[in-house]
C-alpha cells in the first residue's frame, strides 16, 4: 500500500469512533516497533517525525525507511511531520513525500498563525497532503492552564473556516511531557469545539492520560492522539534495567529495547480502537 493522508484516517476515525495513534520516530528501532505494532494489531497508525528530530537525522532517510515499511502492508499508515514550526520545515516535509504535515503556529499571534497556516494549507492541498494546525497552546506539563492557553470553541470555528485545515490540535488540559498526577481534561470544552468544528481534532500530550479519559475523549470527538513520552519512558527504563548488558555488543539489547517500545505502542493503539466498542 502507499501512504495515506490524515484526512483518510480522520474519516476512518469518525466512521468507527476510534482514535488514531501517532507515535514519534526516535530511531530505526522505534520505526520498526511501529511497523510491527501495526501488523500485530491490524490497526492504522501515523508515523510521526517531529521537526526537532531533524537536527540529528535526515528527513529523506527517515521518509525512505517509513515508505519501505508502508509498502509491506495493506494497513493504512501515514507519514506525518509533527510540530513543524516553520514554513520552510513544512515545505521540506512535502518535498520528502510526507502524506500529512503539522504547522504549529501556536507561539505566533492569532493573525500570524492564521495567515501562515492558510499558506501551508494552500500549498499542501495542491500536493494532495493534509494539514494539522494548532490553536491554543498545549505547552509542557506544569505550565499554567488558563483561558488564554486553552482552545476557544468559537475561535477554533473561525480558524477552520479561514484556513481550510484538515485537523486541529487543541488544548483542553492536555500538555506535553510527564504530568504530575492524572491530568483533568475539559470534556465540555471538547464537546463544544466538536459541535462547532468539522475537521479532525487532535490530542497532543497523550502520555499519562487515564485510559478511561482517552476513551471518553475519543467518544467526545478526538480523532488523533499523539504519544511520545510513554515510549521515551519505556525505552529509557529498558536501557537502565539492561545497563550491564551493554558490556556485550549493543545489538544484543536492541531487540528488547524495540519490543519495550512496541508494547507501549500496541497498548495505546488497542485502547484507542476500543472506544467504538460497547458505546
Ligand atoms: Zn505535540
Whole-number Å distance, alpha carbon 138 to ligand 1 midpoint, is 7
**Structural domains counted in the chain:** 1
3-state SS assignment for residue 167: strand
pLDDT recorded at residue 257? 93
pLDDT band at residue 182 using 50, 70 and 90 as cut-offs = confident
Query: Could you say which of 60, 82, 143, 247 is catalytic?
Result: 82
Residue, of 34 and 205, whose pLDDT is higher? 34
pLDDT recorded at residue 279? 63
Whole-number Å distance, alpha carbon 72 to ligand 1 midpoint, is 28
pLDDT recorded at residue 9? 98
User: Which residues partner with 45 through β-bridges?
Assistant: 77
Nearest of 259, 255, 254 to residue 231 by alpha carbon: 259
Residue 147 lies in a domain: yes
| Average confidence (pLDDT) over 145-161 | 92
**DSSP calls for 206-255:** -TT--HHHHHHHHHTT--EEEE-HHHHHHHHHHHHHTGGGGGS-THHHHH
Domain residue limits at 196: 6-274
| Average confidence (pLDDT) over 100-129 | 96
CA atoms within 13 A on the CB side of 253: 16
Mean pLDDT of the chain: 94
20-60 residue pLDDT tens: 999 999 999 999 999 999 999 999 999 999 999 999 999 99
| Average confidence (pLDDT) over 229-244 | 92
Residue 36 lies in a domain: yes
| Average confidence (pLDDT) over 61-67 | 98
* Burial grade of 157 (CB within 10 A; 0-12, 13-18, 19 or more): middle
Query: Is 82 among the catalytic positions?
Result: yes
Residue 242 lies in a domain: yes
- Percent of the chain at pLDDT exceeding 90: 82
pLDDT band at residue 141 using 50, 70 and 90 as cut-offs = confident
- Percent of the chain at pLDDT exceeding 70: 99
Number of H helices, E strands in the chain: 10, 8
What is the b/e burial string over 170-203, where b = at least 16 CB atoms within 10 angstroms of the residue's CB? bbbbbbbeebeeebebbbebbebbbebbebbbbb
Nearest of 29, 41, 46 to residue 232 by alpha carbon: 29
Whole-number Å distance, alpha carbon 189 to ligand 1 midpoint, is 19
| Average confidence (pLDDT) over 76-97 | 97
Question: Is there a contact between 169 and 135 (Cβ–Cβ < 8 Å)?
Answer: yes
Residue 182 lies in a domain: yes
Residue 205 lies in a domain: yes
Residue 264 lies in a domain: yes
Q: What is the enclosing helix (H) or strand (E) of 169?
A: strand 167-170
**DSSP calls for 22-38:** EEE--SHHHHHHHHHHH
Residue 127 lies in a domain: yes
3-state SS assignment for residue 8: helix
Whole-number Å distance, alpha carbon 109 to ligand 1 midpoint, is 18
Angle at 97 between CA 94 and CA 100, to 5 degrees: 65
pLDDT recorded at residue 246? 67
Residue 279 lies in a domain: no
Whole-number Å distance, alpha carbon 251 to ligand 1 midpoint, is 31
pLDDT recorded at residue 145? 79
Domain harbouring 161, CATH code: 3.20.20.70
Residue, of 192 and 147, whose pLDDT is higher? 192
Amino acid at each position: 500500500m502507499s501512504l495515506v493522508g490524515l484526512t483518510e484516517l480522520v474519516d476512518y476515525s469518525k466512521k468507527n469512533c476510534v482514535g488514531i495513534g501517532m507515535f514519534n520516530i526516535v530511531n530505526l528501532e522505534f520505526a520498526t516497533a511501529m511497523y510491527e505494532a501495526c501488523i500485530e494489531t491490524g490497526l492504522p497508525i501515523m508515523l510521526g517525525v517531529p521537526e526537532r528530530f531533524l537536527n540529528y537525522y535526515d528527513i529523506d532517510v527517515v521518509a525512505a525507511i517509513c515508505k519501505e515499511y508502508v509498502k509491506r502492508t495493506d494497513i493504512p499508515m501515514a507519514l506525518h511531520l509533527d510540530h513543524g514550526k516553520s514554513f520552510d520545515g513544512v515545505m521540506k516535509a512535502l518535498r520528502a513525500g510526507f502524506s500529512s504535515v503539522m504547522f504549529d503556529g501556536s507561539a505566533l499571534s492569532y493573525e500570524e498563525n492564521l495567515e501562515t497556516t492558510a499558506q501551508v494549507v494552500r500549498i499542501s492541498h495542491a500536493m494532495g497532503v493534509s494539514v494539522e494546525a494548532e490553536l491554543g497552546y498545549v505547552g509542557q506539563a506544569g505550565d499554567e492552564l488558563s483561558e488564554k492557553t486553552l482552545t476557544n470553541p468559537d475561535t477554533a470555528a473561525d480558524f477552520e473556516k479561514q484556513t481550510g485545515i484538515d485537523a486541529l490540535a487543541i488544548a483542553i488540559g492536555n500538555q506535553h511531557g510527564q504530568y504530575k498526577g492524572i491530568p483533568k481534561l475539559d470534556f465540555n470544552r471538547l464537546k463544544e469545539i466538536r459541535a462547532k468544528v468539522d475537521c479532525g481534532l487532535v490530542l497532543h500530550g497523550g502520555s499519562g492520560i487515564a485510559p478511561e479519559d482517552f476513551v471518553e475523549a475519543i467518544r467526545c470527538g478526538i480523532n488523533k492522539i499523539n504519544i511520545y513520552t510513554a515510549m521515551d519512558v519505556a525505552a529509557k527504563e529498558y536501557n537502565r534495567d539492561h545497563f550491564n548488558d551493554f558490556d556485550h555488543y549493543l545489538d544484543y539489547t536492541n531487540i528488547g529495547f524495540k519490543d519495550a517500545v512496541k508494547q507501549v505502542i500496541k497498548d495505546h493503539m488497542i485502547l484507542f480502537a476500543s472506544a467504538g466498542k460497547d458505546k
